[in-house]
Copies of this chain bind each other. A is one copy, B any other.
Amino acid sequence: MPSFNQFLKNTIEQTPLDPIVLDKPIEIGELPTPALTIDLEIFERNLENMQSYLDSCNLGLRSHGKMHKCPIIAKKQIEHGALGICTATVSEAEMMVRAGIEDILITSPIATTDKIARVIEMGLVTDKLHLVVDDVGNATALNIAARDAGIILSVYIDLDPPMGRTGVEQGAPALALGQHLTDECNNLSLDGLQIYIGSCMHIHGFEKRRDRYARMMALTASTREMFLQAGIDVPVVSGGGTGSYNMESDIGVLTEVQAGSYVFMDVEYREIGGEKTELFSDFEPSLHVLVTAISKPQKKLITVDAGYKSFASDTVKPQFKDIEGVDFNWGGDEHGIILLNNPSVEIRLGDKLPIVTPHCDPTVNLYDYYFPHRDGVVSEIWPIAARGKSQ
């Protein structure tokens, strides 16, 4: 009979972490569906393109691990040159620490004593753990816990863009929190600011997105200036994402970019449009859900075995990778109903077909494994070790 804390530790330590190498490679068509596949050629190109672009701008890449939830991928990003990763949750970070990753920013405030105790435990393992704070009371609680453990915790001040999600109001309230941290919190090291303007990332049209984003980022530039005027150095400004990665250099506020979705891409990001292209095609979709056509109840319909439990349903609909002239309609938890308007390819019962995910992050969170393939051949399987680690 475990204690509750031992149970929690087991959920981290007993989850498969490493690639499962198959004794004999299989073809993608042998996978039971729905299955989450990665086209390695496109995946690697996406990693390289983002890293080399940010290198050319002298910007750091702090890739967001909340998207892929997979230490195997986090390590590949670091090998490509990422300075570290982000996670959204404590348990995602614990999985990354277990995998040996050191430089981790948890991008959401840690507001309860049970989770503060867990970040302190991580802080004892890696001195490159960074937290965000947006509240004086919370900063005080973190400082006391760090002091009691005899460590210094690195913190960034989380700024509200404003979009009303997390973060302290920019300007004077942020500076007041900064002064509290520098004056009163000896066991917290104020190392940076975080500004993530999620409300801008999916604005359709490059210019419209850039203009709105740049206007909002001006508030962060002036907030940072207030910190410098007050003698508080904030060497790091962390934020941005796949939708703003090629605006940051001109805007000149961030020092590191928290892009995540560029690795896999999805329908939602494709549709925002690129700098010179109607579709945002700087990165190509490398992630697909392989589905099977399982029923043909009516002449103009065919049903696949993937619904709300296989695709995120918060935004746009899934799109077939290779088939035009069809519409995906939700058919409940386990089904998608495909309207065969004028299909470019005949779909028969039993056919297995790749679909681009509507929104990659919450889609990934539905699966236990990635099936990476090269030219349709799967030779190893990657556990999505931090899947469901929403705590």
Taking Cβ atoms with an 8 Å cutoff, the residues of A that contact B are 1-4, 7-8, 11, 20-24, 26, 30, 32-35, 66, 88-91, 108-115, 118, 134-135, 137-138, 158, 160, 162, 164-169, 198, 292-298, 301, 303, 305-306, 308-310, 312-314, 330-335, 337, 349-350, 352, 359, 361-362, 365-369, 381, 387-388, 390-391
Residues in B with CB closer than 8 Å to A198 are 332
Do B306 and A390 touch (CB < 8 A)? yes
Name the contact of A3 in the complex, choosing from B24, B166, B390 (C-beta under 8 A). B24
Do B390 and A294 touch (CB < 8 A)? no
Do A292 and B112 touch (CB < 8 A)? yes
- Select the residue from A32, A89, A296, A301 with max chain B CB neighbours within 10 A: A32
Do B352 and A367 touch (CB < 8 A)? no
Do A166 and B391 touch (CB < 8 A)? no
Do B366 and A365 touch (CB < 8 A)? yes
Residues in B with CB closer than 8 Å to A158 are 295
Residues in B with CB closer than 8 Å to A110 are 294
Residues in B with CB closer than 8 Å to A137 are 349
Q: How far is the CA of A359 from the CA of B335 in the complex (A)?
A: 16
Provide a sorted-by-A list of 6 A–B residue pairs whose CB atoms are within 8 angstroms: A89-B334, A109-B295, A138-B349, A164-B303, A166-B335, A305-B390
Do B366 and A390 touch (CB < 8 A)? yes
Q: How far is the CA of A352 from the CA of B115 in the complex (A)?
A: 13
Residues in B with CB closer than 8 Å to A312 are 308, 313
Do A167 and B297 touch (CB < 8 A)? yes
Do B294 and A109 touch (CB < 8 A)? yes
Residues in B with CB closer than 8 Å to A331 are 165
